[in-house]
Structure 1
């Protein structure tokens, strides 16, 4: 059910985003309490504003009403992924070289399942991250297929 809703939403939103020069970052269809939420995260270079989210939301809402992939009531939310944007594809890794990232792994490498540091390189299969342990700088090479989740990380 959930994958059908996400796939249909992606098919409906792609032409809307393409026309506006926006990109799809992620789609979630989740239950929180008694309510279902269909969340669509969009972005572009320099970020999206609330007006762009509103226009996309209106257009997507019309298409969803016609296609009706969701049985029952739900809330549609269209927003920016925020500063801790998820990295969902190899292309996302390539675009974010030099940025601070957080990665969570399926299984430990060097005894750790989580790393945060600067994404120094990505060759399509291996992400190279420079991170600190106390005052020492270390480098870790992480196979892409071992990454469970990744996102940009804000440094304070």
Structure 2
């Protein structure tokens, strides 16, 4: 589910080595749009699952030469680096294991017992099966059967996210990034250098709502959102 077509699979293959070297994990890649496409890359830190605006900027700058060289998408497109958000998509069995006890909404590609949509508490991960405490009783769904899955925004999830964010901030304070002199500031989007290919880059934090397309600035760069 991290990718839905060969283009997205290629983007994942191109970006994962660089992301991993920087300490990030690629959560999901989506390409959307017709005349002008948008490439959205969701990522998070391997260490704690967080993703700050500065992290988005670091990953964006590191991926810039990769996309310039490989050019995975034909024509002009907007690149958006974002966090998964609180009510994040669940893209792997490891994601389900990590969020045991939390509410989730699941959708299957085909009908199972007369339904395709499921909602309930993630009880367990057993092999390739997700055990869900759903309305009407326990449901067991194979991961390969899912077409979509994401967490449900609850008070419990918000509290846990805030706790992880505080822990991450404490860790960042103890291990600050070295200051850089001159050039673009931390979190700034790199400028476009091609008339075709990536021309607008947005570095965003996803709060769980659907992300908005980047808005070109007078310099032709994507708008940076806090």
- Structure 1, residues 80-136: CA drift from partner, whole Å, max 9, x if none? 111121112222222222221110122333433211111001112221111346xxx
TM-score by length of structure 1 reads: 0.84
The alignment partner of 1:55 has SS state of helix
Supply the RMSD in Å over aligned alpha carbons.
2.1
User: Does the 8 Å contact 1:4/1:69 carry over to 2?
Assistant: no
Distance 1:70 1:109, change over 3 A: closer
User: Does the 8 Å contact 1:124/1:144 carry over to 2?
Assistant: no
Distance 1:63 1:92, change over 3 A: same
Which consecutive aligned stretches of 4+ in structure 1 deviate over 6 angstroms post-superposition?
A: none
| Per-residue deviation, 1:62 | 1.8
User: Does the 8 Å contact 1:96/1:119 carry over to 2?
Assistant: yes
Q: Hey, what does 2:124 align to over in structure 1?
A: 121
TM-score by length of structure 2 reads: 0.60
| Per-residue deviation, 1:25 | 0.3
Indicate whether 1:131 and 2:134 are aligned.
yes
Which structure: greater strand fraction? Answer: 1
Which 5+ residue runs of structure 1 have no aligned equivalent? none
| Per-residue deviation, 1:4 | 4.7
Distance 1:92 1:46, change over 3 A: closer
